[in-house]
Copies of this chain bind each other. A is one copy, B any other.
Amino acid sequence: MSRNAEIICVGTELLLGNIVNTNARDLSVMLSELGINVFWQTVVGDNPDRLKAAVDLARSRADLIITTGGLGPTCDDLTRQTVCGAFGMEMAFDERAKRDLDAFFRIGKGGAMTENNLSQCWLPVGCTPFYNTCGTAPGCGFTAPDGTVVVILPGPPKEMNAMMRNGGIDFLRSVSDEPIFSRNIMTFGMGESAIESLLREEMNALTNPTLAPYAKEGEVRLRITAKAANRAQADAMIAPVFADVQRVLGDKIYGCDEIDSLEKAVLTALKARGETFAAAESCTGGLIAKRITDLPGSSAVFRGGVTVYTNDVKMYLGVKRETLDAYTAVSREVAVELAENVRKNLGADYGIGVTGVAGPDSDGVHCVGTVFVSLADADTTYVRALQLGEKSDRSRIRTLSANHALDMLRRRLSGLPVAP
C-alpha cells in the first residue's frame, strides 16, 4: 500500500495570518516526489488540546503524520511534548542536540544562549533525530506503537527545508512505496479555460497518467502524473500525453519540469548561447532584475539593470528629453529608447525596456494597466503594447509586464515571432 500523509502545521501566527504557510507547500512537493499522497493539510494554533485533537484525527485518516512548528525555545512551543504524548512516546535528553546548541551560540550567530533553549534538546526515545543545521531546534522521525509514522520538524521554513534535505527525505523514502512521478509543462500566453477546453477530452479520458491544468499568475501550467513502479516506466506512460500537449499548445510552452519560470527559460537559453541581457525598468521597478538574480548563475547572463523611476534617471540612461516631451514617459518610443540604451550602455547582447502605469493611480494620460515592453538586439527592436486591465492590481500588472518582457526574450532566443 502507498502511504497517505497528513501535514499538520502548528502556529497561532498561521491562524492569525501573520505568515503564509510555505512549509505545507514545500513538504507537499517533497512528498509528491516521494510518491506519498497528501490528502490533508491542517493548521492549528499553539494550543495543546486542539493540537492533540488534530493528531488524533490525523491518525484516523492517515498513516504518515508530519508536523511543523512549535519546537522553539519559547513557552508556547509545545508540539514535541503534545505529539509524543499523543503516541505515548517517552522523551530523553539528547546530548548531541545540546552540543549543537552550544556550537550554534558559540559561533555567535544567535547572541548569548538563554536557558530556555535547552528545552529543545528533548527527543522521543528510539527516534531518528534530525539535527538542525541552520537553527536551534532538532526534529525527528519515528514509527509510533500503533504503526503510524510521525515526522516532527521546526517551523522556520529555512530550517524545515534544510532538515528534510539532511535526513528527513531519507527517512520518508524508507517508509514509502508505489511512487508517483510527474512532469510539469509551463505555458505563457493562453488562458486556463481556453487551454482546458482544448484539452478537456484528453483530460477526461485519462486515468493513469492524469493531466491537469492549474493557473499561476499570468501563466497556465499542466501537470502529467503517472503511478508506476519506477521513473522509466512512468516516463514511457507520460511521453505520449506530453507529445499531445506539445502538439496542441506549440510555442505557448516555454519550459517543463525544472524550467519552471520564464526567467529560468531565459537563463538557460542565454547560457547555451553565451549571450547576456540588461533591463531598464520603470513600472516593474527592478522586478525583472530581482527575478533573474534570484537564480544562482545569473551573473553569467545578466549584465545589470537600471530602475528608471524618474525622467531624470531615464535621461541618465540616454533617453532623449524630446522623446519624453513628445510622447510622455509611458510610450512605445520611450520603451524603445530604454531597451536600446540599456543594451548599449551596459554592454549586453539584448536590452529590455519596460514603461507603463502599474497604478493604483493613473499618470493622468493613460489608464492603469497600459504598459509598453520592448526588446532590443543588435539589429531589431521589438515592442508589445499591453493593456493589462484597469481592474488589475499593481502587483499583477508588474508581474505580467515582467512576464511579457521575459517571454519576448525567450521567444527571440528560440527564433519565434517576438511581438505578434
Q: What are the residues of chain B within 8 A of A18 when measuring CB–CB?
A: 214, 216, 221, 223
Q: Which of A116, A133, A279, A306 has the most CB of B within 10 A?
A: A306
Of A251-259, A373-381, A392-400, A405-413, the one contacting chain B is A392-400
Q: Does A99 contact B (CB under 8 A)?
A: no
Q: What are the residues of chain B within 8 A of A26 when measuring CB–CB?
A: 17
Q: Quick one: CB contact mask for A13-37 with B, threshold 8 Å, 1 for yes?
A: 1111111111011111111100000
Q: Does A242 contact B (CB under 8 A)?
A: no
Q: What are the residues of chain B within 8 A of A193 when measuring CB–CB?
A: 72-74, 110-111, 114, 116-117, 136
Closest to A157 in B: B217
| Contact between chains at B293 and A303 (CB < 8 Å) | no
Of A42-50, A86-94, A138-146, A168-176, the one contacting chain B is A42-50
Closest to A9 in B: B41
Of A122-130, A228-236, A284-292, A320-328, the one contacting chain B is A284-292
Interface residues of A in 289-315 (CB under 8 A from B): 289-290, 292-294, 296, 298-299, 302-310, 312-313
Q: What are the residues of chain B within 8 A of A392 when measuring CB–CB?
A: 134, 158
Q: Choose from B12, B47, B112, B216 the contact partner of A212 (Cβ within 8 Å).
A: B12
C-alpha gap A392/B12 in the complex (Å): 26
Q: Choose from B17, B112, B196 the contact partner of A29 (Cβ within 8 Å).
A: B17
| Contact between chains at A304 and B310 (CB < 8 Å) | yes
| Contact between chains at B309 and A293 (CB < 8 Å) | yes
Q: Quick one: CB contact mask for A40-67 with B, threshold 8 Å, 1 for yes?
A: 1111110100100010010000000000
A16 → chain B, closest Cβ, in Å? 5
Instruction: Work out how many copies of this chain go into the complex.
Output: 2
Q: Does A391 contact B (CB under 8 A)?
A: yes
Q: Does A177 contact B (CB under 8 A)?
A: no
Q: What are the residues of chain B within 8 A of A114 when measuring CB–CB?
A: 193-194, 197
Q: Does A250 contact B (CB under 8 A)?
A: no
**Taking A196-B74, A285-B293 as contacts, is the C-beta distance between A214 and B41 under 8 angstroms?**
no
Q: Does A192 contact B (CB under 8 A)?
A: yes
| Contact between chains at A44 and B50 (CB < 8 Å) | no
| Contact between chains at A43 and B24 (CB < 8 Å) | yes
| Contact between chains at A116 and B289 (CB < 8 Å) | no
A72 → chain B, closest Cβ, in Å? 7
**Taking A28-B17, A156-B215, A312-B347 as contacts, is the C-beta distance between A110 and B307 under 8 angstroms?**
no
Residues of A within 8 A of B (CB): 11-22, 24-32, 38-45, 47, 50, 54, 57, 72-76, 109-112, 114, 116-117, 133-134, 136, 156, 158, 182, 190-194, 196-197, 200, 203-204, 212-217, 221, 223, 278-279, 281, 284-290, 292-294, 296, 298-299, 302-310, 312-313, 316, 345-347, 359-361, 389, 391-396, 398
Q: What are 21 A-B residue pairs whose CB atoms fall within 8 Å in the complex?
A: A16-B38, A17-B29, A17-B30, A20-B25, A39-B45, A40-B42, A41-B43, A73-B196, A74-B213, A114-B193, A116-B200, A134-B389, A278-B313, A284-B293, A285-B302, A286-B287, A293-B307, A296-B361, A299-B309, A313-B347, A316-B345
